Amino acid sequence: MSSSATLLIAEDDDNDLFFLQRAFDTAEVKNPLQIVRDGQEAIEYLSGAGSFADRIKFPFPHLFLLDLKMPRKTGMEVLEWLSEQPELRCLPVVVFSSSANRRDIERAYELGANAFVVKPSGVIERAELAKAMGLFWLESNEPPVICTDGIEAARKAGGECAES
Amino acid sequence: MDAKTRPFDRGLLANIVDYSEDAIVSKDLNGVITSWNKGAERIFGYKAHEIIGRPVSILIPPDRIDEEPGILERIRHGERVEPYHTVRRRKDGSFVEVSLQVSPVRDENGKVVGASKIARDISEQRRAQERLQRSEERFRVTLASIGDGVIATDTQGRVTFMNAVAEKLTGWSQPDSLGIPLEEIFQILSEIDRSRVENPVARVLREGNVVGLGNHTILVAKDGSERPIDDSAAPVRDTNGEIIGVVLIFRDASPKRDAQMAAMKLAAIVENSDEAIISKDLNGIITSWNKGAERIFGYTAAEAIGKPISFVPESRQEEERKVLERIKNGQQVQHYETTRMARDKREIDVLMSVSAVRNPSTGQIIGASKIMQNITARKKTERELADTRRQIEIHAQKLETEVAQRTTQLRETVAELEAFCYSLSHDMRAPVRAIQSYSELVLADEGKKLAPTSVEYLQKAISAAERMDQLIQDVLAFTRLSRQEIAVVPVDVDRLVHDIIAERPELQPAKADIRVESPLLQVRGHAASLTQCITNLLDNAVKFVAKGIKPKVRVRTEASNGKVRLEIEDKGIGIEQEAQRRLFQMFQRIHTGQEYEGTGIGLAIVRRAAERMGGSVGLQSKVGHGSQFWVELPGVDA
């Protein structure tokens, strides 16, 4: 879409976060990255609650990269929460996990995830993935109203995503 | 007239004549009555003066009028007419039977001048005789129609009468038997020793008493057939008590004897039965007690009969009372199991069957019969069985509890294992990833500034991290295979193999010479698991070759017995016989890391995957010549 489209990353591991940020750098994906460090914080960010109320500072993301294994609330719990929010469940979600656990994969899709990716180990593979994601999700993909115009607009639009 | 004047008509003779009971009448040769006595008045009803001087013919009935001329003729010739029975008519017209005797009457010169008649009224005598005859006839008919055989004899023991039953039983007819000594037609033997039994008539004649034959007498009929009889003989006496004959009465005793025999047989059965068979009257007094009862309860019949033996235990009294009540009321009692007390106080389990005993003629219930089968042994076995069953149940319950506990423990272990794997995949991979990635970043950012040895160390760290990561992923793959449910469906092996080869860089024609003998046969399996198998086998096939040699691999399928064997054959280094056995086990590496990289899990995964799909794996190998690994799975047509 545009290079201003925000990417929200939920990741508790410092190393993984560092590698991911570096991968986006390497892949020259310039979009702003918003970071939350656990599931609870992710929910707060997405619902614009507390310190995340300011949508100018913390804009609604076009893509949500979600790690599964996190403290406070796990990635799966965030997905569950999302599936219960009529306005929010249109948000494209890419699950980032350390393993291709069959049960996790099925459950994640069941709860509305749009992709399931196993974290690459190598620097090069990671950079390639960051580039592919930038190309696909942030440029090729047409996001729903909520990502571009926010919750209010999504509500007015008649909730095409919601309750459909 | 003349006669009236004759002097001898008077006097004593006249007196005798006058008072005779018989009619004494005289007539002349013309048949005219000349005298008439009182007897004649009584018999014929005419007074003397009414009839003297009149013809005697007025006394003769019209149908007998011819008698008179003949009589007169004989008288004229001086002949007597011997007494004969005839009929005369009374004054009142009724007839009277008389015995008539006519004699000539002579004058002093001996000349026949008339006839005297003496007529005796025989009507009364005749009637008495008839009565007697009728009575005799009645007796005869009675005897003839009596249900028993009757034979009468005279005092000589000769047959004078036999009735139809006697004819039937002896086979002799009355006409053939009359006057014959009884023993000729009435032959009797002892049923016991077949000796001749004395003729009862002879005994009666000798002893003068009624004689009843002993039982067990057989009558031999004329045709030789034999039948048991009951009989008795009695003297026949006249009014003076003199024996004038003997009457013998006998009957066919076969039905009675048959019934007796049947009863004896039944009695024998009851007596010899293993079961206790007893009967009681309605007061509970024992009336019969067989050998079986003696054996089971220890009381002899003599001890039991006539007494209310208390072999019903205290705890069963109420039950017994109810049962007897039902029997009294004519209700049925089903078999039931109960207990009785033997003489030695042992409690005996019995299967009891109770029925009413009825008076044979009135049908009234007079007691109860009981058949008791000793089931003590059976009950003991049943109790033992029940005990055993209970113990088994307790044991089974223990086992179930144990199994449940172990299952819970196992589930916990499995859950722990799953948690361990999950954590392995996430937490252990993260640091490995970090080591690898930071090393790569240092090399990328600072590589040119570093000493060659430092570069080499970093590269070693990276390759170690890579191996570690692979190891973790293989272990995960293996445990995943063990746990997850797999659906077996037809799989296009040919396409699967070509896809795998196309995807993997080390399998490209430039690096390896892989020949697929297409088309490969389809199998029933699980695509993902089979992909893992084939990938691992192909990786191995191209990996284990001597340095500098281009791997040569052949892939083919072969069907046999509804199964398909997928063979992957290499011309590699081969595997020692010794190593082949442990090849498919976890973490078995037969080469050092320097020579050939590997985690030692690949073939374990192959085996586990094949087994999960209902197949098997194996190999043939020779060091220096190469190896042939195979996976056998169900064919699609099977």
Q: Is A4 on the interface with B (CB under 8 A)?
A: no
Q: Which DSSP helix (H) or strand (E) runs through B559? A: strand B552-560
Work out the average pLDDT over B70-76: 84
What are the tens digits of pLDDT across the range B438-478?
Answer: 999 899 888 889 898 889 888 888 888 888 888 887 777 77
Work out the average pLDDT over B294-315: 84
Q: Going by DSSP bridges, is the β-strand pair B276-281/B243-252 parallel, antiparallel, or unpaired? A: unpaired
Whether A153 has a pLDDT exceeding 80, the answer reads no
As a whole-number percent, the residues of chain B with pLDDT over 70 amount to: 94
- Residue B294 is encoded by which pair of tokens? 């003696």
Q: Residue B10: its pLDDT value, please?
A: 54
CA dist., res. B251 & res. B215, Å (int): 12
Within 8 A of B436 by CB-CB distance, chain A residues are 121-122
Q: Are B434 and A15 in contact (CB under 8 A)?
A: yes
Q: Residue A94: its pLDDT value, please?
A: 95
Cα of B503 to nearest chain A Cα, Å: 16
Q: Is A106 on the interface with B (CB under 8 A)?
A: no
Q: Residue A1: its pLDDT value, please?
A: 45
Work out the average pLDDT over B157-174: 88
Q: Which of A25-29, B475-479, B612-616 has the lowest mean pLDDT?
A: B475-479
Q: Which residue of A has its CA nearest to B429?
A: A98
What are the tens digits of pLDDT across the range B180-191?
Answer: 898 888 888 887
What are the tens digits of pLDDT across the range B575-600?
Answer: 888 777 777 776 666 665 556 666 67
Q: Are B143 and B167 in contact (CB under 8 A)?
A: no
Q: Residue A42: its pLDDT value, please?
A: 93
- Residue B315 is encoded by which pair of tokens? 């705890």
CA dist., res. B45 & res. B98, Å (int): 14
Mean of all residue pLDDT scores within chain B:
84
Q: In a 10 Å sphere around its CB, with 0-12 CB exposed, 13-18 middle and 19+ buried, how is residue B117 labelled?
A: buried
Q: Which residue of A has its CA nearest to B433?
A: A121
What are the tens digits of pLDDT across the range B385-413?
Answer: 999 999 999 999 999 999 999 988 888 88
Inter-chain CB proximity A15 and B465 less than 8 Å: no
What are the tens digits of pLDDT across the range B481-531?
Answer: 776 777 888 989 898 899 888 888 888 888 888 898 889 888 998 888 888
Q: Residue A134: its pLDDT value, please?
A: 86
Q: Which residue of A has its CA nearest to B432?
A: A121
Q: Which of A28-37, B130-139, B169-178 has the lowest mean pLDDT?
A: B130-139
Query: pLDDT: is B491 or B16 the higher one?
Result: B491
What are the tens digits of pLDDT across the range B246-262?
Answer: 888 888 888 777 887 87
What are the tens digits of pLDDT across the range A109-139?
Answer: 999 999 999 888 888 889 999 999 888 888 8
What are the tens digits of pLDDT across the range B271-286?
Answer: 777 888 888 888 878 8
Work out the average pLDDT over B547-574: 88
Inter-chain CB proximity A121 and B426 less than 8 Å: no
- Strand positions, DSSP E, B147-290: 149-153, 159-162, 187-190, 211-212, 217-220, 226-237, 243-252, 276-281, 286-289
As a whole-number percent, the residues of chain B with pLDDT over 90 amount to: 7
Within 8 A of A97 by CB-CB distance, chain B residues are 426
Q: Is A22 on the interface with B (CB under 8 A)?
A: yes
Cα of A121 to nearest chain B Cα, Å: 5
Q: Residue A162: its pLDDT value, please?
A: 46
Cα of B523 to nearest chain A Cα, Å: 24
Q: Residue B392: its pLDDT value, please?
A: 92
Whether A142 has a pLDDT exceeding 60, the answer reads yes
Residue B428's CB is within 10 A of a number of other CB atoms, namely 17
Work out the average pLDDT over B296-307: 86
Q: Which range has highest mean pLDDT (A146-150, B156-160, B314-318, B575-579)?
A: B156-160
Q: Residue B597: its pLDDT value, please?
A: 66
CA dist., res. B396 & res. B450, Å (int): 73
B215: left (phi over 0), alpha (psi -120 to 50) or beta: beta
Whether A51 has a pLDDT exceeding 70, the answer reads yes
Question: Is-above-0.90 flag for pTM?
Answer: no
Q: Residue B591: its pLDDT value, please?
A: 65
Inter-chain CB proximity A99 and B476 less than 8 Å: yes
Q: Residue A108: its pLDDT value, please?
A: 94
Question: Alpha helix locations (H) across B504-593?
Answer: 527-543, 577-580
Residues of B with CB under 8 A from a CB of A: 422, 425-427, 429-430, 432-434, 436-438, 440-441, 444, 465-466, 469, 473, 476, 480, 484
With the C-alpha atoms ordered B126, B132, B138, B140, is the resulting torsion angle positive or negative? negative
Q: Residue B398: its pLDDT value, please?
A: 93
Within 8 A of B422 by CB-CB distance, chain A residues are 99, 101
CA dist., res. A75 & res. B66, Å (int): 166
